[in-house]
Structure 1
Amino acid sequence: MATAGHAIRGSRVGAGPLGETERGEAAPRVRVSYWCANGHETTPSFSASEDVSPPEVWDCPSCGFPAGLDAANPPEPLRNEPYKTHLAYVKERRSDDEGAALLEEALETLRARRSGLQRAS
């Protein structure tokens, strides 16, 4: 099978013939080391501009813990709170006695509504 004479081989879409000079010079960068509580080191690069400073904390790509600039004193991992159900939040706001009173009030309202429907039919 013959290929067309205009086929581009060994190249990808968007690749220019001149490479780096066509796109311009790369901005100056600085690499900063961060360490997490598990001892992982990550070194992201940031702009070397004077008006930009690297963040104090960076997420570790290996374990997800927060990583800091000081290898001897990395930040403590965040404590994850377990998922709370709607019932758990309600129990924080109401005592068992208050809950029983509210339930009884709702049941009385429901019984009154049902007895009114039975008489109407």
Structure 2
Amino acid sequence: MATGGNAIRGTRVGAGPMGEQDHGYHADRTAVSYWDALGNETVRYFAANLPEEEIPEQIDSPQSGLPAGRDKDNPPALAKPEPYKTHLAYVKERRTDEEAVQLLDEALAAVRARRGQ
């Protein structure tokens, strides 16, 4: 059996000529590099006509999950996560101890009035 090349093997029936020129219009784009604290570089592409203020300063690095910035020498540090706060902790941020005592006294007075005491 001869090993001749089969020109249509692996192509679709009716497919046109192979080549980049037949794959549509490619929009102009700008490459922006981001670096994380471990030195990993990530390149993101944006439309060339996109205003500079719409290009994000930070992204999440897909390699490490750390925040990545556009300044190679000064990558952003990992933000310290805030501990979980209970409802009571948020209330204590809004109210002083004196206000808490006053509100408790008012609530107790309302309950006693309802109960007829």
For the aligned pair, the TM-score class normalised by the smaller chain equals: 0.5 to 0.7
> Number of aligned pairs?
101
The Cα of 1:41 is off from its aligned counterpart by 1.6
* Amino acid across the alignment from 2:72: A
Q: What are the Cα deviations for residues 32-78 of structure 1, in whole angstroms up to 9, with x where unaligned?
A: 3210113222112223x255444432321233332122222112222
Q: Is the 8 A contact 1:65 1:78 kept in 2?
A: no
Q: TM-score, normalised on structure 2?
A: 0.63
Aligned residue for 1:106? 107
Aligned residue for 1:35? 35
In the alignment, the residues of structure 2 paired with residue 46 and residue 107 of structure 1 have an alpha-carbon distance, to the nearest angstrom, of: 61
SS of 1:80 mapped into structure 2: coil
In the alignment, the residues of structure 2 paired with residue 113 and residue 100 of structure 1 have an alpha-carbon distance, to the nearest angstrom, of: 20
Most deviating of 100-109 and 72-81: 72-81
SS of 1:58 mapped into structure 2: strand
Distance 1:51 1:41, change over 3 A: closer
Q: TM-score, normalised on structure 1?
A: 0.62
Question: Structure 1 unaligned runs (5+)?
Answer: 1-9, 117-121
The Cα of 1:109 is off from its aligned counterpart by 0.7
In the alignment, the residues of structure 1 paired with residue 49 and residue 100 of structure 2 have an alpha-carbon distance, to the nearest angstrom, of: 60
* Amino acid across the alignment from 2:27: A
Q: Is 2:54 aligned against 1:60?
A: no
Question: Structure 2 unaligned runs (5+)?
Answer: 1-9
Provide the identity percentage: 51
